[in-house]
Structure 1
């Protein structure tokens, strides 16, 4: 086995800290500073893009054919669309999430004058006033508004307090860490993935583990709006493994336990050889895993490839129940993912042709094309003999 021991207490502790930092897409400076300092504690030099995407390189045997891992620090959120005449705020979502999950949420509105707390409510929120009309109100962002915790009875009051169209709103995650190992919170997508990467990095640092190639630890800041890892990869990276959420829902094969390997998302199949390697590492390291594919989902992988990165990509996930809502995961999946990351980064590089951006056919990969010959069970063999 090549997997390393994961400090589960550290993993949970750093996830708590990440969840406590508001970071909707477009408002990520604070969490970028936190992650950068955490990476520096592992003796890594941290580089930031202009907008704050993070890259930290852990040197290996060679910089050629570097491997990269990526998770995103940004979360869902909302923005102010209008200062309403009733002293409340009309909203639009940041990222794709249902207003069904926004109703009743607490949040923080960031204005240039300072922040205010507030609650997202349906337009008809009082049963004592509207009776069963409360239950008949349609679901959608046009049917909710934000009540701010300030004296604001009209649009002029809101403007005087400093509210403006475009102000960003962070949604309170309301995290719960249960003794059973379950974690219930908003924004586990993808702060749990960030915690997995940091826990794996700590295991490598503590073990003074060596890797055959450089490992780039990447953290994107705008995945929830489709930009993701489009501007953080360097030319020497040959493979990119994304860590994000899987969807444990009817019709899906994801699970809240073990690793869920995604074989495809809405942008198409992931790299055959890299995904196969990750599955083999799970088997040889006794890491529970299952495979799934996601039809209404894309990740940092898609944004990197669309931006022109010629890299092999794979997606490894922790199963999330009610993704983009009140999410639930289990520590078993997070620990399993971190173990797989450690096993992957120390494993040998099989496709050394990838050290160069282009080459001839020598060393090019092969995918199986021969017809499979099923192995008969002992019972089947005996049946054949009897016939």
Structure 2
């Protein structure tokens, strides 16, 4: 079987475009418009839900038993909780991330009528005033505030600027693409996964590859707050692979190179057979890969299962250093993710009974055991 090549320049261009569009959860309309325009440009049919999740369907030989490949467009951010007497803004986070990571970030505040620029600062930001207290003050969201770059020195002036409780605050990404393949930016989670998925889609579309079943490429818009893929899977989908960030840190086995396949996260283990199929596809394709387990992590797969989807799930990741902070990844991981996505989309169906919601035991899977599994059992796949 011949597999199309991934275009790394296209992947980087899409990542740069996505990172340039602010999209904290709840403020995703503009990034959805960008993605749908790009899907139309490459000739990929798609539909959009009421709130903006995107489903692009690559037609396969049959509809039943379809596969979903999912990444999320929404990012971390913040919301204005209170306008202080000083005209500065108290925040609550959108998604789970540290206020320490937000300190000294440049940001945009989106009002009902426009936008204003600002900086997130600790309450004691001036060393000339507070001396060593700048290092000893507490860390946390109650201990940071937005300094608005306008005449906002009291509540009345803030109101005159259009600032209101509930305004969205988007964080500047500070993106750098280095010549050695490293990419440093905020919000690579999960715009890098979306870019890798788009590169896989374009490669498949350009080559006109055949797939055994429909492939649903889904962009979700609320993963960072937990609801992600809870209501976007169609009934025909039998298996779902999420693309998201892995964590390269002390005690983890993730890498910024190749594909990191998550075996389990805080919700529990991913599907035994689907996960091992992805590992096998990496081995057969010479794709560098490693396994990892994430303790404090959940993805679109968890939200799909909690939403009632009876599908096999797996998670493939690109290793991220300093996740949910000022993140760093490598292009090698993203191209590896895209290559595995194409190989998975084109791979043969191995558990035919999964096309039906309910079936008898014929063709049901088995896992290694003693005594050996029955001869007619299917050992792995989807």
Instruction: Give TM class, smaller chain.
Output: over 0.9
Alignment of 1:197-236 (within 5 A): 197-236=197-236
Question: Could you tell me which residue of structure 1 aligns to residue 111 of structure 2?
Answer: 111
> Alignment RMSD, CA only?
1.0
Whether 1:196 aligns to 2:175 is: no
What does the per-residue CA deviation read over 1:103-142, in whole Å, with 9 as the maximum and x for residues that have no partner? 0000100001210010000001011111111111110001
- Is the contact made by 1:2 and 1:343 (CA closer than 8 Å) also made in structure 2? no
- Is the contact made by 2:44 and 2:205 (CA closer than 8 Å) also made in structure 1? no
Distance 1:105 1:228 in 2: 26
- SS at structure 2 position matched to 1:244: strand
What does the per-residue CA deviation read over 1:308-347, in whole Å, with 9 as the maximum and x for residues that have no partner? 0000000000000000000000000000010000111001
Question: How far 1:348 sits from its partner (Å)?
Answer: 0.4
Whether 1:285 aligns to 2:285 is: yes
- SS at structure 1 position matched to 2:230: helix
Alignment of 1:234-273 (within 5 A): 234-273=234-273
- SS at structure 2 position matched to 1:51: coil
Distance 2:13 2:244 in 1: 19
- Is the contact made by 1:4 and 1:343 (CA closer than 8 Å) also made in structure 2? no
Distance 1:136 1:63 in 2: 60
Structure 1's unaligned 5+ residue stretches are 373-387
Question: How far 1:56 sits from its partner (Å)?
Answer: 1.1
Larger Rg: 1
Structure 2's unaligned 5+ residue stretches are 373-382
Question: How far 1:206 sits from its partner (Å)?
Answer: 1.3
Distance 1:123 1:78 in 2: 17
Distance 1:314 1:113 in 2: 42
Alignment of 1:119-138 (within 5 A): 119-138=119-138
Question: How far 1:2 sits from its partner (Å)?
Answer: 4.9
- SS at structure 2 position matched to 1:280: helix
What does the per-residue CA deviation read over 1:254-274, in whole Å, with 9 as the maximum and x for residues that have no partner? 000000000011110000000
Distance 2:268 2:282 in 1: 23
- Runs of 4 or more off by more than 3 Å in structure 1? none
- SS at structure 1 position matched to 2:211: coil
Alignment of 1:328-367 (within 5 A): 328-367=328-367
Question: Could you tell me which residue of structure 2 aligns to residue 42 of structure 1?
Answer: 42
Whether 1:17 aligns to 2:20 is: no
TM-score (norm 1): 0.95
Figure out how many residues of one structure are paired with residues of the other and give that number. 372
Distance 1:4 1:275 in 2: 23
- SS at structure 1 position matched to 2:64: coil
- Over 3 Å counting, the alpha-carbon distance change for 1:327 and 1:315 in structure 2 is same
- SS at structure 2 position matched to 1:263: strand
Question: How far 1:371 sits from its partner (Å)?
Answer: 7.9
TM-score (norm 2): 0.96
- SS at structure 1 position matched to 2:241: strand
Question: How far 1:87 sits from its partner (Å)?
Answer: 1.2
Question: Could you tell me which residue of structure 2 aligns to residue 87 of structure 1?
Answer: 87
Distance 2:192 2:92 in 1: 25
- SS at structure 2 position matched to 1:64: strand
Distance 2:197 2:296 in 1: 25
Question: Could you tell me which residue of structure 1 aligns to residue 97 of structure 2?
Answer: 97
Question: How far 1:22 sits from its partner (Å)?
Answer: 0.3
Question: How far 1:41 sits from its partner (Å)?
Answer: 2.0
